[in-house]
Amino acid sequence: MLGTSRLGIGIIGAGRVGPVIGAALAGAGHALVGVTAGADSDRVEAVLPGVPVLEPAEIARRSQLVVIAVPADQLAGLVAGLAEMDAWQMGQLVLHTDPAQGVGILAPAAAQGAIPLAVHPAIAFTGTSIDLRTLNGAFAAVTAPAPVLPIAQALAVELGCEPVVVAEEDRAAYAEAIATATEFSRSIVAQSTSLLARAGVDNPGAYLFSLMHSTIDHALAEAGAGAATGSGAGDLGTTTIDE
């Protein structure tokens, strides 16, 4: 557990990411203070049974660690809005999960004494308990001021991830790498399954499963070898996932 402390954790964002992060940290021994309301209350209840549903400002005022997992276009406004309500607390931890942002976006909270952290687990979240298994052995990009970087790293470990430090100025490149990998993969799978279906192959997804996994494994192995030998193709990977 994080040192020897048991934190009271609040989750702002009830989409696919926030509740899973909360469940993982609860599994590491922390207490859940509350979660904000979401469109799929049944799914959130299944992941976080019995956790109170609270307003964002109430979560900020009650929690020692606030996890913010909201859409990217809502993050800045949410942080600033809670600052205008004087909701942030001196010494509390505030962690967001947006891959494209470091801790600068949390400046309004930091100005009120909160400790800013950015932790992005590099998995495709489903919003279900399946993600708890996927987190184990995954990597997480962590960004934080140097004095509190070990806290961000420890929280990543408690999620089950291996922390990889990404500098504030490198978060945009990191996010581009993540978006390229995920969006390209989805597009290729959709195109390939459509072509196989037109060719008369039953269950094209199952047909592609082993092929896609083996191809990706080989590509990642080659990328890792390139990074180790200093070839240009590995430069971005060593900044994000391969460290």
172 pLDDT above the threshold of 90? yes
pLDDT at 230: 44
pLDDT at 227 over 70: no
Q: Which residues lie below 8 Å from residue 94, measured CB to CB, with a gap of 6+?
A: 65, 66, 68, 79, 88, 106, 109, 110, 114, 115, 116, 117
Q: Which of 26-35, 162-171, 176-185 has the lowest mean pLDDT?
A: 176-185
- 214 has a pLDDT exceeding 90: no
% the chain with pLDDT above 70: 90
> Quick check: helix, strand or coil at residue 235?
helix
Give the mean pLDDT of 211-237.
59
Residue 225: per-residue pLDDT: 60
Provide the percentage of residues in the chain whose pLDDT is more than 90: 74
pLDDT at 239: 28
Report the pLDDT value the prediction gives residue 219, as an integer from 0 to 100.
Answer: 76
pLDDT exceeds cutoff 60 at 61: yes
Q: Which CATH class is domain 8-165?
A: alpha beta
- The pLDDT value given to residue 3: 52
**pLDDT band, residue 22 (cuts 50/70/90):** very high
Of the listed ranges 63-67, 89-93, 194-198, 225-229, the one predicted with least confidence: 225-229
- pLDDT of 50 reads 96
Average pLDDT value for the chain = 89
Phi, psi of 205 (to 5 degrees): -60, -45
Reference 240, options 142, 95, 123, 153; nearest CA is 142
Residue 42: is it exposed, middle or buried by C-beta count within 10 angstroms (0-12/13-18/19+)?
Answer: exposed
Residue 56 and residue 34 in contact, taking contact as beta carbons nearer than 8 Å: no
Instruction: Report pLDDT for 2.
Output: 61
Rounded CA-CA distance 151/116 in Å is: 10
Computed from CA positions of residues 140, 138, 164, 236, in that sequence, does the dihedral angle turn out positive or negative? negative
Could you give the residue range(s) of every CATH 3.40.50.720 domain in the chain? 8-165
Task: Check pLDDT > 90 for residue 27.
Answer: yes
Q: How far is the C-alpha of 65 from the C-alpha of 9, rounded, in Å?
A: 5
Q: Averaged over 209-224, what is the pLDDT?
A: 78
The predicted structure's pLDDT at residue 182: 83
Q: Is 241 helix (H, G, I), strand (E, B) or coil?
A: coil
Q: Given this model, what pLDDT does residue 170 score? A: 98
- Cα–Cα distances in Å, from 231 out to 130, 172, 227? 36, 22, 6
Q: Which of 114-123, 181-190, 201-210 has the lowest mean pLDDT?
A: 181-190
Q: Is pLDDT at 35 greater than 60 in this prediction? A: yes
